[in-house]
Structure 1
Amino acid sequence: MKVLKWIDDSKIVELFDRESKILQIIDHPGVPKSYKDDYFTVKLNNRLTMHCLIMQRFEGKNLAEWIKSYGRISQNLALDWLSQLVNILDIVHRNEYFHRDIKPDNIIHQPDGKIALVDFGGAREISRTFLAKLGTNGGTSTGTSMGYEITAVRSAYYSPLEQIHGQAVPQSDFYALGRTLVHLVTGISLNKIKSDEKTGRLLWRDKARHIDKPLADLIDDLMAPFPGQRPQNTQIILQRLHKLPFQSKIQRITRSKTFVISALITSISLVFFIFFRVILPAIANGLVFQGEKLEIANDFQTSKNLFNLATSIHPPAKFTVSKFYLEQASRNISNLRLAKKYYQLAIKYNERDLGAYNSLAIVCRQLRELNCAIDTYQQILKLKPDWEEYYRLGSFYDDEGKEELAQQQYQIAIKLNNNAVVAINNLSRLKNLKEDYNQAAQLALEGLRKTKDPKIQATLYKNLGWARLMQRKYTEAEKYLQKAIDLDNERIDAVCLLSQTQEALGKINETKLWWEVCMIAKSNIPEVYIWRQQLVDRLINNSKSTN
């Protein structure tokens, strides 16, 4: 339990109250959980009011303590922790908040290796109003020049200049994150690391020579002096992180003596190869070679032979080969069979390339080679048995009309992550198709409690309205289906269901309007075709009865 001791400052009470609300909203295993009733006040002697907040406690040490005990971290651990922290920040920023106090003391290393971010007392909402307050010239440490008061949250050596002046923005979190990484990879307090007098950047790289240039560049970019020079959102950082392990391996390889010697041997070998296989035939064949040269430039087999030669001389070249095949696949995606071949070759050279496996699964689906798709998804699950991959396999079975198999995969995904709202939503839809309306409604309500995404909310309200319609709870069905359309006016399935609901309620004029939209609007949802056909059959039967 966190107790506010300084209770005579309304600003601090406001921050305390805000922390409670933020912890209720943000749903991530790396953020403390807290609920509405966990924030309360206690009066002492009818004069003093204590503010109290109960929240989840994480086992483990904060990173400041961890570094004192174990020293600086390796590059692999730095990549792991940075990735975890950016994923946490991704959820925080998506919920339109930023932390403002990221530092080693506020990051917990749990016994299972997972990282948690704590102390949201200084967090701030990203709102248009707040950003408008910062869109002014000048400013002070407690507010802006227009008189808006914005509480400044500062941590020595971790807070950027704009935050010290009370004008923190989401990118301020990235600055603090970069500085945190410097402390972790050097094991040295930031006050003992000098800064460049001209740029203000920390001169830390010579104290962490085990960090390869690609990762060091990212850390420096996170700590850029001005917010506009830093990555602009978490997705950009995650994309760069995804590429880093590959870049780092290449960096280590190219710096090694073995590589230099191997590269020299490779170069000599390639010179001989080119001389005897290319230059001499060119002299012999003259102008004929000029025409053949254009074909060779686009000859995949020649490129493949060159790469095989390179890998036979120096095995680490397989990373370049894998990248080559992936690039070829993206260029030739219109030719699905050729794309499939390239993805299979990419996997051959890098058997743990999840991106290549996922792309291969998609191509197999497009080619209607279902066994190929299923085998590929099974390989993915062996490499990465997490909820997202089970969800993707469920979606595949769903698209193929294999509803029982799809349900099984969605249920596994939800079991692995009970906040997998997309899986909850799809399972709710399948329950409606199976006429299990109670379960469909229960799942839709569960999903609605766990998401604030308007598009996903719209599909969940549609599923809930569908279940209530089939349960003949027409008033509820009308309310939920209307909410679905309000949130996403392109949900034609919700429109078709609403037309059926309005008909059941005897609202003839509304029924005609919604049926017209249902019949003419573009949709590729299977249920919409079924409902349209049912209406056409009904109209034909009514016409025959009248005649």
Structure 2
Amino acid sequence: MSYCINPLCEQRQNPNDIEKCLFCGTSLLINKRIRLIKPLRDLNENPFSYTEVFEVDDAGTQWNPVRKQRVMKVLKLNSPKLVELIERESISLRLINHPNIPKSTLDDFFTFVPNNSSLTLHCLVMDEMKGQNLEQWIESNGRISQSQALEWLNQLLEILATVHRANFFHRDIKPSNIILQSSGQLALVDFGVARRVTNTYLAKISGSGGDSTSRGGKYEITSVGTPRYCPPEQTDGQAVPQSDFYALGRTFVNLTTGVSLFNLPTDKKTGNLIWRDKAPQIEKPVADLIDQLMALLPGQRPQSTEVILRRLEKLPEQIKNYRLAKSKVVKYSKYALMSLVLIGGVFISIPLVTNYLVTQGRKLEAANNSHGAQETFEWAIRINPQLKPDIAEFYFEKASRNINNHQIARKYYERAIKYNAKDAAAYSNLALVCQRLGDSKCVIENYEKAFQLRPNSWESRYGLGNFYEDQQKYDLAEKEYQLAIKKSDEAVLAVVALSRLKNKNNEHEAAVTLAFQGLKNTKDPDLQAALYKDLGWARLKQNKLSEAKEYLEKAIQLDGRTDAFCLLSQVEEALGEADTARIYIEGCMLAKSTLPEVFIWRQELLDRILKK
């Protein structure tokens, strides 16, 4: 059976051995290669749907020469916004390379006009990920175990890491968009609302209200996603990569409870989903991670897939410690020791008791029992006040290990300061964490305290300068960077930052002077790469292309910097070396970067590609 692609055709089923639709005369062989085998959605189920999806027989192209069954999405409406979405999906599937994400090539996106019709259909062909989606799987099998949850979460994060490294985010993660393949591997599908992270997009969401770091301006941004899986900021049209983590957490609530999210209550005070009583097989450390993924504010969620994957690696030990902390032996032995100390501690020496309590406090903290840990540490300090610096150091190290998990790191740095109010590094690090959380008052207050304790700390001056640069207060940022450089010849990070800032402000000769100054004071290859990049950037803007090429090649050789790839592609293009430029363009587009200027350069490249 072959199907007619024409959505207006009244009799779309046709025999296999004919070339044109018997009813409307539209060719059944699309682009001389594709034949529609069957619809994957009922064609009559939702007449208002703007897309149809078919399983197709694809004879192949030069980019995909093997004949095989694939999937084709057909956009029936010519709305500019809908056309833009399917174009984005095509670009995302071409640029994201993972075996468990559908693959599509340049020739797989095209338009087709049915016979005797003014209707232009936009078609996107992609590889088929065969299997059962997790919404169907749950209906048949019920909720999953904790071990299954951890295995699936790990698989999805590996996929999502590839998506985010390509500077995309999915924006519609849910059980029905996850396929369990016969191999046991999960696949992530439906990139129809995926978004590329560009500087233009970030400027839009940061300027559309409600954010403490707003850049100003008013933009209209489309809200997409599925109710109950969609985080608050995405509902407001302000999705960020961490929005995917919220949807991932909600997905695992559905998988571990087997209950529809619409049937789960919400805490009226906190807005958090109440679900743990429906998933008794999930222990507290795992449930805590899922809840953190679903934090209401993006800054309270883990900030990258790498952070979550590291958390997963630590979970087995945390689960073990949690089970130990819950055991009656630990509980009763702790209180027995406390009682002996209060009575007089005749048979137990003070050092033995305090060492035991500190050890138990560390174990309780590792098991995410913060209340029990603090209570135990307080008992130890009552017995021996000299333990305060040791406990402060413990919390400082705990915060440093969780530095990318900003909400948790903040809590631990604040506890470190509670036990040692003279630690300048703790104040400085707390300021950095507050910067990531968007708490400007906390940033400035803690840097000021760090300056009082260590007036000659160039690191704190650099950190405050970085904060002001994030706020786009470039005059204040420059002042702090200059103070850092004045404090120490070792402040090469501040030199790098100021050189980059000078380039962004088109003060290219000043950037060159700073870059040469920095190169004299460092042998660190990462810093050298950044400085050579700034030299190349400045020389490109000064039209000294040979020098620019030399410096940018050094930067890439030292560190493979994404921004150097972007700049070198511009140099090669200016030199008329189109083939070489394409190589560097690929590095610019596909490598990971969080620099706003890289987003600008990528957007400029995409704009040129889409105009061709």
TM-score by length of 2: 0.44
The structure with the larger Rg is 1
Structure having the higher helix fraction is 1
TM-score by length of 1: 0.49
